[in-house]
Amino acid sequence: MEIPAMREDVNRLWPEIQWIQNSKLREQVLQTWTKALERSPLKAEDLNKIPFTLLIPNCPITFMEHKRCVVHIARKSAESMNEFMGRALPVNVDAVIAGAILADVGKLLEYEIGPDGRSRQSERGEALRHPFTGVALALECGVPDDVCHIIAAHAAEGDQVKRTTEAYIVHHADFMAYLPFKNPKNVKVKD
């Protein structure tokens, strides 16, 4: 597939890209996702079908449902932080939105579809989890370091890093939309 069609795929997957006010950053985010799709064994439509994590058996929520939820939580959190504490702890909302949209872009290089039609971790994914491949893709597209920091530090590896406020917000938004699934009693729909 040629790149313009893939850019359209990304715009369909991610209406939230339009929330990014800085046009340069908006373009860099769009380019990063487009590049990831070009190189991925997954297709755009797979992201509306595959579970968002391999760590929960029979996970009922798709990759895109989870990722978009995290972006929405992160933006609202950033706005509330600015409203009440921005005087002392200013939050860059554009960086939060961009970082949340890009946090899992590396999963396009971490996953593959196995012979049973289900997603699984690829050999590359085992060597380089998605925070690492995500940063590599984003840097290639000119994404600035403060946003790459959010990608790098969003998951458990980031516990070893001194996170920025923006990275804390995305990390907690991501885990808020993940950890409840680990208690099976919380999950009402099994499939």
Where does this chain bind Fe ion (CB under 5 A)?
Answer: 104, 155
Least distance (Å) between residue 168 CB and Fe ion: 15
Is 9 or 104 the residue whose CB approaches Fe ion more closely?
Answer: 104
Bridge partners of 121? Answer: 111
The Cβ of residue 2 has, within 10 Å, a number of other Cβ atoms equal to: 7
Is 21 or 48 the residue whose CB approaches Fe ion more closely?
Answer: 48
Tokens at 105, concatenated: 């872009």
Pairwise CA distance, residues 50 & 189, whole Å: 16
The CA-CA-CA angle for residues 174, 88, 96, to 5°, reads: 25
* Chain residue whose CB lies nearest Fe ion: 104
Pairwise CA distance, residues 75 & 79, whole Å: 6
Least distance (Å) between residue 167 CB and Fe ion: 12
